A and B are shown apart, each in its own frame.
Chain A
Amino acid sequence: MVGIKSYGAYIPRYRMNHNTIFGAVGFLGTFPTPGEKSVANHDEDTLSMAVAAGIDCINGLKREQIDGLFLATTSQPYMLRQNSAIVAVALDLQPTIRIADFIGSSKAGTSALVSAFDAVKGGTSSNILVCASDCRLSKPGGPQEHLYGDGAAALLLGNEGVIATLDGSYSVSYDFPDRWKTSAEEFEHAWEDRFIRDEGYAKMIPEAISGLLKKCNLNIKDFAKIIFPGIYAREHAAIIKRLGAEPGQIQDTLLDKVGDTGAASPLMMLVAALEDAKPGDKILVASFGNGSDALLFQVTENIKKVGDRRGVKKHLALKKELASYERYLAFRNLAPMDTGMRGEMSLRTPMSALFRERKAILSLCGSKCKKCGTPQYPFQRVCVNPDCGAVDQMDDYRFSDKNGVVFTYTGDNLAASIDPPAIYGFVDFEGGGRFWFDFTDCDLDSVKVGMPVEMTFRRRYLDEPTGVYGYSWKATPVRA
């Protein structure tokens, strides 16, 4: 049986109230609905959030069994250089996997999902991880600014031990020019909302859902949960009514808590539905963007065996308000902030070294001495244990999935940072090993010697002359 084996999600720590946006740029005339949106930290982007959701999804599972990774997004950092490759290395997946980027539409998340199912069903892959992530950049003051949020979802698809089977899908595809952006542009354009709403949103989603119901010979009332993105709240309710569904069947769109996360939206809602699902539940998922993909799932008994996942629920609960719109502008590099001359120094990234050292930099792999068992980061040829010193007796050893404790730390006001003080320190890993790391998603006052931390994959820098985004791992207080 082909279906979903595991799920995970990620929502950034920061939330910004719509009123904060209104207070700063409301003079431009955009009146937001009540609510808040998730905001990626300054060191987060599509890829870092995809990795975080992926980690949540594969927590406790064998990474070696994964033979494919599909990344879906509308906000990929690279136009040339496969974005899913960076996510795959960060997740320390095998190099023998197949990878693909699904881009260009907010429908990309479900498109990736359907393609992954086809691959598993066709027998060319056994376990494919689908990560959908979006960190959508909008022009300050525009109507998208409070509508869009940042987040990611991940689903592991396979053919055994599934928690929900995929029992059918139906797609409609149109060159619907609601939103567009050329590869040379920073911000998207949109046509009139009434056009998008009436010709696209309100027609294409029901068309896909009705097609699926007919194809699978089902009634809308058969579903425990119906999921589709809610970029127009009033029209969302109207579609439900027209489909003949009851309000209780409708999955929360997360619009007033997270915002519309583009390619990730329907998948994040699916994760939220699976968190509450019971065996036998039928779940319907439809996307929107250049048409719609509708998917039919049926939850199995295995849903009870899903390990501890942060998913949508726990991430929703772990939040901190970003009360300053100006900080948000700084986080997204939307205003030319002065971080001093030190901040102007840029690393000319040596790409050959980046490739050679990819296990250390992107996978957070070090080594473990076969002779004395000492874990060490980064990979050492000569064992660092002074009583051992064995040479070339090392196995690869992954630190990204090990927690640790703060050995020491500081909050540095001199270091160039868009969010000073730069907090960094030493981490002593459980099971051995020590290194120094930047700390993120924490406040200086809350950091203490001995505090438990976990590792998180983040964007570290932008090397502007070479157009390289640098990524590596940081430490962050263990989230509950």
Chain B
Amino acid sequence: MAEGIKDKVAIIGMGCTKFGELWNKGAEDLMVDAFQECIEDAGIDKKDLQAAWFGVHFEEQSVGKGATSLALALKLPFIPVTRVENFCATATEAFRGACYAVASGAYDIALALGVEKLKDTGYGGLPGGPGLMGTKNALIMPKLTAPGSFAMMATRYFAVYGLSPEEGKKMLAKVSVKSHYNGSRNPKAHLRREVTEEQVLNAPIIAWPLGLFDCCGVSDGSAAAIVTRADMAKKLRPDPVYVKSLQVALSSGEELMYTKWDGAHVETGYRAGVLAYNEAGVKNPRKEISMAEVHDCFSITEAVTMEDLQFSPRGRVKDDIEAGRFNLDGEQPIQPDGGLKCFGHPIGASGLRMLYEMYKQLQGKAQMPERQLKNPKLGLTHNMGGFPAMNIVSVAIVGL
């Protein structure tokens, strides 16, 4: 295996806006807000930045094409800025660009920033649109929406593991109840109210079998990170957080067009996890990963991700969910910040928002003490973009 970037790059500053329906803020406002918190946290001067990576997915809804919007909004000092897009892993891709640039020795200090302004679309749910998947797909694909495509994974998971719709929905309800519990304790979250299992189960159906509370919110937001060479980090702040691994896997078409995939897991999720554990030297993810922020766009996504990342054995996540393993006070807290469930999913910002929570938790600085986990060592973030049958998954592991 290639050498990888374990412990070559450190995060020295992060910022994250409040997520929500931010009617009075444009994408540029959110970029400035996230960046200001980030650079103040890093304690460096803007002119110390040597390069930047900028993530945004629905560029038409947010800032337009190219990366000039970041340079202009932040008044960056004539440095290279690259815009990246990779579905829901967009922000993690921006972070990867910055980390790889620093690890290569090309730059000492780089910025990664992601933003999305979903609430300028005029309706709930993701914008989608017929052209999103390219010319040919637009002409042959069904009119899929995000909840529909993940609902198909829920249908399949129930069928493969012999859960009745009632049993399956009950399992998923517990995922959402847990995330709402955490999000209600987070001032930056969009949805800050606890929900009961009954509320989740009785909510209107969005895409069978997923109901309203099985779906994450639709929000605006931005998050940012400043990274530097590991050997410089301690000089810049006493508690930098080190990058242990950064991996991405993309579908080959096998899941969608070949008949091997069981439809009850995300193949790229498993593959990206294995790559990330190898790079980070993690042997037993269930024991070694202290906490994680995973891509819970829908409750079923979080459930299968627990299996894809080997936190739970295949087909057995129900036992772990019921045992409270992933609760804030459980053995392996998942979505301590409330997750996409409560933050919503401004696509270009989510990956960095997840890292923000891991970074703060590792530093012992989680907002509101009741959310602070005891002595976390390794935090994992996971994004899954596209559809369960055709997608990208990114996995990042950070630690002290």
Q: Which residues of A are in contact with B by a Cβ distance under 8 Å?
A: 340-342, 345-350, 353-354, 357, 360-361, 374, 376-378, 380, 384-386, 407-417, 421-422, 424-426, 428, 432-438, 444, 449-450, 470, 472, 474
Contact = CB atoms under 8 A, between A and B. Distances in A.
A472 B139 CA distance: 8
Given A444-B208, A449-B159, A415 B143 contact: yes
Contact of A412 (B122, B145, B154, B253): B145
Nearest to A425: B152
B148 interface: yes
A410 B254 contact: no
Interface stretch (B49-57, B104-112, B124-132, B276-284): B124-132
A340 B205 CA distance: 17
Interface string B117-158: 000011111001111000110111111110111011111100
Nearest to A412: B148
Contacts of A437: 142
B257 interface: yes
User: Which of B130, B154, B210, B254 gathers most chain A CB within 10 Å?
Assistant: B130
B141 A436 contact: yes
A433 B152 contact: no
A353 B259 contact: no
Give chain B's interface residue range (CB within 8 Å of chain A). Answer: 35 or more
Given A407-B263, A408-B159, A415 B140 contact: no
A450 B159 CA distance: 10
Contact of B136 (A345, A378, A410): A378
Interface in B253-275: 253-254, 256-260, 263
B206 interface: yes
A361 B139 contact: yes
B249 interface: no
B196 interface: no
Contact of A410 (B135, B138, B207): B207
Given A374-B258, A384-B257, A414 B159 contact: no
B221 to A, nearest CB: 21
Contact of A411 (B121, B140, B159, B208): B208
B304 interface: no
A449 B148 contact: no
Contacts of A415: 143-145, 148, 207
B156 A414 contact: no
Contacts of A348: 131
Contacts of B138: 347
Most buried by A among B207, B253, B258: B258
Nearest to B153: A408
A435 B152 CA distance: 13
A372 to B, nearest CB: 11
B389 A426 contact: yes
Interface core residue of A410, A413, A415, A474 (most chain B CB under 10 Å): A410
B129 A428 contact: no
11 contacts: A345-B128, A354-B139, A376-B258, A384-B258, A386-B254, A386-B258, A408-B155, A410-B155, A413-B204, A415-B143, A425-B155
Given A341-B122, A347-B130, A422-B143, A409 B155 contact: yes
Q: Which of A340, A347, A348, A415 has most chain B Cβ within 10 Å?
A: A415
Nearest to B155: A408
A159 to B, nearest CB: 38
B361 to A, nearest CB: 34
Contacts of A434: 256-259
B145 A376 contact: no
B268 to A, nearest CB: 13
A374 B123 CA distance: 42
A293 to B, nearest CB: 39
A377 B206 CA distance: 29
Nearest to A353: B135
Contacts of A432: 259
A423 to B, nearest CB: 9
Contacts of B124: 414
Contacts of B139: 347, 349, 353-354, 357, 360-361, 470, 472
Interface in B207-253: 207-210, 252-253
A474 B142 CA distance: 8
Contacts of A444: 208
A384 B252 contact: yes
Contact of B140 (A346, A360, A380): A360
A410 B259 contact: no
Given A385-B258, A428-B259, A433-B257, A347 B152 contact: no
B202 to A, nearest CB: 16
A107 to B, nearest CB: 36
Contacts of A377: 257
A386 B144 contact: no
A415 B139 CA distance: 16
Contacts of A408: 152-153, 155-156, 159, 263
Contacts of B253: 380, 384
A412 B128 CA distance: 14
A349 to B, nearest CB: 8
B206 A413 contact: yes
Contacts of B129: 345
Interface centre among A424, A433, A474 (most CB of B within 10 A): A424
A342 B257 contact: no
A380 B159 contact: no
Query: B130, B207, B259: which has the most chain A beta carbons within 10 Å?
Result: B259
A438 B389 contact: no
A409 B153 CA distance: 8
Given A386-B258, A449-B155, 18 more contacts: A341-B122, A349-B139, A350-B135, A353-B136, A408-B153, A408-B156, A408-B263, A410-B155, A412-B144, A412-B151, A412-B208, A414-B207, A415-B143, A417-B143, A424-B142, A426-B152, A450-B159, A470-B139
Nearest to B387: A436
Contacts of A424: 142-144, 148, 152
A416 B256 contact: no
B123 A421 contact: no
Nearest to B160: A449
Contacts of A422: 142-143, 148
Given A347-B131, A414-B207, A342 B125 contact: yes
B128 to A, nearest CB: 7
Contact of A361 (B140, B151, B204, B207): B140
Q: B121, B128, B140, B144: which has the most chain A beta carbons within 10 Å? A: B140
B208 A421 contact: yes
A384 B256 CA distance: 9
B127 to A, nearest CB: 8
A415 B123 CA distance: 12
Interface in B53-90: none
Given A342-B123, A386-B254, A436-B389, A416 B152 contact: no
Contacts of A428: 259
A436 B152 CA distance: 10
A96 B285 CA distance: 61
Contacts of B156: 407-408, 449
A438 B142 contact: yes
A274 B280 CA distance: 73
Contacts of B389: 426, 436
Nearest to B146: A414
B147 A435 contact: no
Given A361-B139, A424-B144, A426-B263, A435 B256 contact: yes
B130 A345 contact: yes
A167 to B, nearest CB: 46
Contacts of A472: 139-140
User: Which of B123, B153, B257 counts the most A-chain CB atoms under 10 A from its CB?
Assistant: B257
A411 to B, nearest CB: 4
Closest 6 pairs between A and B when the two form their complex, measured CB to CB: A412-B148, A410-B151, A347-B130, A408-B156, A424-B142, A438-B142
